[in-house]
Structure 1
Amino acid sequence: MSYVQISQNDLFARVRKTVERSNGQNPLRICHLSKYYPPQPGGIETHVRTLATSQAALGAQVDVICVNACDRTGEDSPQTQTVEEFDRDVRVIRLGRMATVARFDMFTEFSRYFKQRGTQYDIAHLHAPNPAMGLHWALSNSSVPLVVTHHSDIVKQRVLKHVINPLLSYVYHRASRVLISNPLYANGSDFLRPYHHRVEVLPFGIDLSIYQQPSDGAIAYAEHLRSTYGSPIWLSVGRLVYYKALCVAIEALKFVPGTLMIVGKGQLAETLKQRAKEAGVSDRVVWKPYLSPEELVGAYHAATALWFPSNARSEAFGLVQVEAMASGCPVINAAIPHSGVTWVSRDRVEGLTVPVNDPQAMAQAARHLLTDPDLRERLSAASRVRAGRFDQDLMAQESLRIYQQVMRATAAEPVLV
């Protein structure tokens, strides 16, 4: 696994030459293969959009091929139509699906939009785990060099992964690079071990400016939250699914004052609401299935800390940690073994880390921030500095450098006749 840390100026200088070469008559042509794309929620979807739009801003020609999860009214639907649209300078091709079986999307138009256009691309970039798109890429028998971002191992689906992993193994064996978001994840991944010589770290990035310089609307929303709920406000942001472990946050609230705001929706919504009722804290939990981007920035600025109790390696990075850190909001996270969560926000450097599935420890960390305001200020300042490591422009430029390396190596390979 390669992980070389260089200065931001050196990275800009090295990649500027690559971008200038690709900005002539033949811009770099990239096709991202994603499961879904915003406005579909999710960390992978958000990352794909950030990377694709940032690459396009550097002069690359970028397509995203994904599945269309919504009907014409914008509602989730098992049967959808193919839609082609633009997001800024990124062409987004949402393939219509016929059905979904065990979370596996079935669609047929991949060849029309990838295989027939395959010669137009310099790089294909698959975001995995994504068995449906991986299967279609494998069937295309494409000669376009492939880069894979391994967002996480398949953790919970123990039976299903025995079906999916052989397919993913075939795809990964053909990939020129396997990218991971942090230097800790590969050491705990049995799946990645055969590809260790191809693994490279590309930390995720976001547009930091919207959190560092909040808009007037974001500031107003932060003031609204403070006046409505008082202090402290504890914030949790993410889908309401098992590995987010929001039940831990709800239990922790029993031992600290204040309000817990949970932003997100998912299959465990009613279960978690019942858990809050049983814990006797339902009157101190605020449920927000959705906040606008501006409101979310305001929530980070109003919060005393982000509670991030995720408890499984399905949580490999945690982009919401970066959003909170850029806002100066310290993070209380959980020590998931071989996950990048505690690499993003480090214990007693930018935030506080507690054992997994330990509500008492999370509550104790929260009380520590309340009783030691100087500690919170130190963590807040350090969080803002650390967030600079996860800038979207750095990520995009480094990705183009990796692509160029792959293209040069592919061009140098002998041709078999």
Structure 2
Amino acid sequence: MIHLGKYYPPSPGGIEGHTQSLARAQAALGADVRVVVVNHRARDGHDATFEKWTRTPWAEDADGQVRITRVGRLANVAKLDVAPGLSGLLNDLARNPPDVWHLHAPNITMMLAVLRCRWLAPLVITHHSDIVRQKLLKHFVRPLEVALYRRAARILPTSGSYVDGSDLLQQFANKLTPVPLGMDLSPFQTPSAAARACAERFRERFRGPVWLCVGRLIYYKGLHVALEALKRVPGTLVVIGTGPLGAELNRKAQELGVADRVVWYGHASADELVGAYLASAALWFPSVARSEGFGLVQVEAMAAGCPVINTAVPASGVAWVARHEQESLTVPVSDSAALAAAANRLLTEAGLKDRLVAAARMRAAAEFDWLVMGRRCLAVYGEVAGRV
């Protein structure tokens, strides 16, 4: 099969990480897997994702048994990668087509390219989220989505909960098969010596308790809510991730008087990320919009034994991944006082942390392991293959 993604690691992000995990899992299960994405790296190797006028080159590489084609772009305009060679590549690949094309959406650049290649079939689409905040963009993209989803043999929302709030998905109810996201849990379940050493350095470096946020610095992650909550709890907030709101959030921390207790960690290595979960009192996941359809970093925390505090984003899978009082503590959206109260509960309520962590580890292994996800998707492929 060929996965049509947005970018591919080392580019950070939920869709990117999912694309890698699914491709690796399917390769491990014996499938022939190729990935086509836009190259996020400039010629000097730096991450140019958010740079409007930075060109990136074509690149071919491999991730184990997964073949990767990174298509060069000319620019990034209004979050749209201008990659004129993409359609030609898909046309070339269609001459010797895979059993299944698997598109990861939303992804306007790839959607346009697929629509120009009408013979790409059978098409499976993983619907990661609706376009929520960008109202003008949403109205521009909706006809593209509808046309593309009509062509799909199967559409895979990441949870049944997300369908309830998506008028787009509800138009294609007969094509929906929810498939939860998954990942390789082993680095989190059985941390390496290097990861444990990173955890020790975190504990030594940052005044505890350590509260952790992981993700891009973008609006729907709700990091402003985390900064407000920090005023009501002791300890240090460590933020792993980069993004366009970095300067704005730093100013917010200064205005709130908590800047000396916030660490803008930026990019973390794989061992540093695992170490951060091991050293933290909880993962704070204060997302504020349905653009957050799932929240895979919750699964990382669950597998690592780091308690999760998430938000009840309406018609999103966030609070389904880690459920209130079962595997997490769930608080209302944009409620910094409730987030702080949940954090303080973890510090003071006997047995709460151990109960949540034990249940979270079990749920992660049963529902969100990458091989479980890989088998679920391969079963879908088997059903649609040949039905072009």
Residue by residue over 1:138-165, the C-alpha shift from the partner in whole angstroms, topping out at 9 and shown as x without a partner, is 1111142000010000001101111111
- Distance apart, 1:112 and its partner CA: 3.7
Identify which range, 224-233 or 381-390, moves more after superposition.
224-233
AA of the residue aligned to 2:11: Q
SS of 2:102's equivalent? strand
Query: How big is each residue's C-alpha offset from its partner over 1:9-50, in whole Å with a ceiling of 9 and x where there is no partner?
Result: xxxxxxxxxxxxxxxxxxxxx011111111111100000011
What's the counterpart of residue 339 of structure 2?
A: 362
**What secondary structure, in the 3-state scheme, does the structure 2 residue paired with 1:313 have?**
coil
1:143 and 1:221, CA in 2 relative to 1: closer, same or farther beyond 3 A? closer
Give the alignment of 1:2-401 within 5 angstroms.
30-75=1-46, 76=48, 78-118=54-94, 119-388=96-365, 389-401=367-379
Q: Which moved more, 1:311-320 or 1:230-239?
A: 230-239
Per-residue deviation at 1:231?
2.5
Counterpart of 1:403, as a letter, is: Y
1:198-238 CA-partner distances (Å, limit 9, x unpaired): 01111111111100110111111111111222431111101
Q: 1:110 to 1:156 in 2, by over 3 A?
A: same
**Which amino acid is 1:169 matched to?**
V
Please report how far the alpha carbon of residue 117 of structure 1 lies from its aligned counterpart in structure 2 after TM superposition.
2.0
SS of residue in 2 equivalent to 1:332: strand
> What is the aligned residue count?
381
Deviation >3 Å, runs of 4+: none
SS in 1 for 2:283: strand
Distance 1:253 1:263 in 2: 16
TM-score by length of 1: 0.89
- Secondary structure, counterpart of 1:71 in structure 2: coil
Alignment partner of 2:103: what SS?
Answer: strand
**Counterpart Cα distance in 2 of 1:271 and 1:143:** 42
Q: How far did 1:360 drift?
A: 0.5
* Matched residue, 1:3: none
CA offset at residue 318 of structure 1? 0.3
Question: Which secondary structure state, in structure 2, belongs to the residue aligned with residue 262 of structure 1?
Answer: strand
Gaps of 5+ in 2: none
Tell me by how many angstroms 1:296 deviates.
Answer: 0.6
Q: CA deviation at 1:242?
A: 0.4
Task: Report the secondary structure of 1:373's partner residue.
Answer: coil
| Residue 385 (structure 1) shift | 0.9
Indicate the SS of the match to 1:149.
Answer: strand
Q: Report SS of the residue matched to 2:315.
A: coil
CA positional deviation for 1:408: 4.5
Specify the SS of the correspondent of 2:171. Answer: helix
User: What residue number does 1:16 align with?
Assistant: none
Q: What displacement does 1:409 show?
A: 3.7
Secondary structure, aligned partner of 1:84: strand
Deviation string, structure 1 residues 353-372 (Cα, Å, up to 9, x no partner): 11110110000111111111
Greater mean alpha carbon deviation, residues 63-72 or residues 194-203:
63-72
Rounded to whole Å, the distance in 1 between the matches of 2:334 and 2:151 is 38
Render the CA deviation track for 1:344-388: whole Å, top value 9, x for unaligned. 010011110111101100001111111113111111111111111
TM-score (norm 2): 0.96
Range with bigger deviation, 101-110 or 215-224: 101-110
What are the superposed Cα offsets for residues 269-301 of structure 1, whole Å, 9 maximum, x if unpaired? 111111111111111111100111111101101
Could you say what the CA RMSD is over the residues aligned between the two structures, in angstroms?
1.1
Identity of aligned residues (%): 51
Gaps of 5+ in 1: 1-29, 411-417
CA distance in 2, matches of 1:256, 1:166: 46
* Aligned amino acid, residue 262 of structure 2: V
- The residue type equivalent to 2:8 in the other structure is Y
Aligned to 2:383: 405
Structure 2 counterpart SS, 1:38 = coil
TM-superposition CA deviations, 1:234-281 (whole Å, max 9, x none): 111010000001010011010111111111111111111111111111
